[in-house]
Amino acid sequence: MTTDPHVPHFQEELDQLKTRLLTMGGLAEDRVRIAVLALVEGDHAAVERVLTGDEAINQLHIEIDDRCVKLLALHQPMAVDLRAIVSAVKINSDLERVGDLAVNIAEAASRYFTHPPVKPLIDIPRMALIAQEMLHDALDAYVRRDVSTASGVLDRDDELDALKTLVFKELLGYMQRDKATVAASLDLILISRHLERIGDHATNIAEDVIFMVSARDVRHKLEE
Amino acid sequence: MTTDPHVPHFQEELDQLKTRLLTMGGLAEDRVRIAVLALVEGDHAAVERVLTGDEAINQLHIEIDDRCVKLLALHQPMAVDLRAIVSAVKINSDLERVGDLAVNIAEAASRYFTHPPVKPLIDIPRMALIAQEMLHDALDAYVRRDVSTASGVLDRDDELDALKTLVFKELLGYMQRDKATVAASLDLILISRHLERIGDHATNIAEDVIFMVSARDVRHKLEE
């Protein structure tokens, strides 16, 4: 490790990186929460805020990548610290896409408002809750380098997938019985897919945490 | 740079990394091509092959990440070489997800075969072709460090988005006119979304190439 006084302490910089990732995660979570709440409450103004308000996440996305490259260039991190920075690059991409998915949910919600509504929103609010919890737990696991919390996230992905399949079948039934529900049901199906993908991103983050801490690659092992 | 004879030459290792990324890209492209062709030709056996054959991509995904971490740990790459490795980490994730999307397309195709077909497949084969070309060009731009080819990929994303919107409207029309087409049309809508996401991954790769070569971050600038 360098002793050049102009190079800030590595550990301090690494802590700052974690803090910024958590900030980004918080923003992404918030936007998903607001988009789904806006859908549930028919709140057009809130939908509009999600559609136009991704500047902060986009700025953080660039800043965090930049911090990672600088940390790698200025220091020579090894072992778990090196893996923590490589993981941060990937987690950063995942969070940025969660932010994009909040926009996709808001776009579908905005279309949904223009159709006669499908009576309940079925399990969509529950899917949103699970996806948000997974994301929150995955980031918590990253910061605390906690493999057990990360493994818990992987377990919940099946729950989310099962709900997505249930929502799909139920809405397909509506559409086939009554043509008037087609457009609205289609938007809800797309929203449930977006929520499932948020769960996928949380799963990616959890897998990165396990790799970071244990240098063990669990990806693709669980699928078999 | 180290002169330890036990550490292989950096440039050689970096070239191997590029070759492996290209192999992974080729596999991902192939699987998308086969999935869409199987849909068009009603080829159940080919769909089945896509559903079960993602082992090679998954193995490469792990291997490439491992190569990136080792390159960072054993050498002290700077400037464009450092950015090339950080980009490889991201491109690797993008390609793995393209492979997953090929599976998603095959899943939808497999469901599609069980319904009375919607008469033409509309612009879906064309969307598939554009998405594959974008992916191919983006990887080519990575290997040749070619900003102009990368910029061309970014331009084509709008074309793909426009086709997706067209496909959506046309299929929504079918569904609203004739309930018997609901299930099949829904599968085609989902497939068009998967193809759009493949274009998004190609776009991510192209943006990484521009960042790598010019250290200029074009992401989020183009959206404004």
Give the pLDDT score at A160: 96
ipTM: 0.89
Lowest mean per-residue pLDDT among A128-142, A208-222, B23-37, B206-220: A208-222
Summarize pLDDT for B140-172 with one digit per residue, the tens. 999 999 999 999 999 999 999 999 999 999 999
Distances (CA, A) of B199 to B27, B38, B91, B154: 16, 20, 13, 9
Interface membership of B193 toward A (CB under 8 Å): yes
Q: Quick one: closest CA in A to B57, which residue?
A: A220
| pLDDT tens for chain A, residues 1 to 224 | 444 545 568 999 999 999 999 999 999 999 999 999 999 999 999 999 999 999 999 999 999 999 999 999 999 898 899 999 999 999 999 999 999 999 999 999 999 999 988 877 889 999 999 999 999 999 999 999 999 999 999 999 999 999 999 999 999 999 999 989 999 999 999 999 999 999 999 999 999 999 899 877 677 764 43
- Residue A116 included in any domain: yes
Q: What range does the domain containing B100 cover?
A: 10-214
B76–A76 CB contact, under 8 Å: yes
- Give the nearest partner residue to A69 out of B66, B86, B193, using CB atoms: B86
Does residue B1 register a pLDDT over 70?
A: no
Interchain CB contact of A176 with B (< 8 Å): yes
Distance CA A122, CA A192 (A): 10
Is B5 a member of any domain?
A: no
Give me the pLDDT at residue B44, please: 97
CA distances from A76 to A62, A85, B76 (A): 22, 11, 7
C-alpha B109/C-alpha B147 separation (Å) is 36
User: What is the pLDDT, as a whole number, of residue B117?
Assistant: 81
> Is A73 within 8 Å of B69 when comparing Cβ atoms?
no
Predicted confidence band at B215 (pLDDT cuts at 50, 70, 90)?
A: confident
> Does B143 contact A at CB distance below 8 Å?
no
Q: Is residue B217 scored above 90 in pLDDT?
A: no
Which of B73, B186, B219 lies nearest to residue A82, judging by beta carbons? B73
Contact A193 B193 (CB under 8 A): yes
- Cα(B215)–Cα(B101) distance, rounded to whole angstroms? 30
Whether chain A has a CB inside 8 Å of the CB on B52: the answer is: no
In a domain, B82, yes or no: yes
CA A42 – CA A32 distance, rounded (Å): 15
* CB nearest to A220's CB, from B62, B68, B69: B62
In chain A, what residues touch B66 (CB-CB under 8 Å)?
217
**Across residues B196-217, what is the average pLDDT?**
91
pTM: 0.91
Whether B97 is covered by a domain: the verdict is yes
A190 touches chain B (CB under 8 A): yes
- What is the Cα–Cα distance from A138 to A147, expressed in whole angstroms? 10
Interface contact flag, A73 B86, Cβ < 8 Å = no
Mutate to test the interface with A, among B55, B63, B175 (most CBs of A within 10 A): B175
Cα of B33 to nearest chain A Cα, Å: 23
pLDDT tens for each residue of A168-215: 999 999 999 998 999 999 999 999 999 999 999 999 999 999 989 987
State residue B45's pLDDT score. 97
pLDDT digits (tens, 9 = 90+) for B58-100: 999 999 999 999 999 999 898 899 999 999 999 999 999 999 9
**Could you give the number of structural domains in chain A?**
1
Task: Tell me the pLDDT band of B173, cut-offs 50, 70 and 90.
Answer: very high
Identify the CATH number of the domain in which residue A160 sits.
1.20.58.220
Amino acid at B75: H
Q: How far is B49 from chain A (nearest CA, A)?
A: 16
Instruction: Kindly state whether residue B2 falls inside one of the protein's structural domains.
Output: no
Contact B127, B163 (CB under 8 A): yes
Alpha carbons A194 and B217: distance in angstroms, whole number: 27
Judged by DSSP in three states, A143 sits in helix
> What is the Cβ-side half-sphere exposure of residue B155, based on CA atoms within 13 angstroms?
7
Q: Which residues of B touch A66 (CB under 8 A)?
A: 217
Within a domain: B42: yes
Contact state of B186 with A189 under an 8 Å Cβ cutoff? yes
In the numeric block, which tokens belong to residue B189?
């809508």
Distance CA B216, CA B210 (A): 7
| Token pair 């061309």 in the structure block, residue | B152
Identify the band that residue B224 occupies on the pLDDT scale cut at 50, 70 and 90.
very low
In a domain? residue B220 = no
- On the question of pLDDT at B216 being above 80, the answer is no
CB pairs under 8 A between A and B: 85
% of residues, chain B, pLDDT over 70: 94
Assigned token pair, A147: 């493999």
Backbone φ and ψ for A121, nearest 5 degrees, come out as -90, 15
Domain assignment present for residue A207? The answer is yes
Say what the pLDDT of residue A223 is.
Answer: 46
- Nearest CB to A90; choose among B62, B73, B89: B89
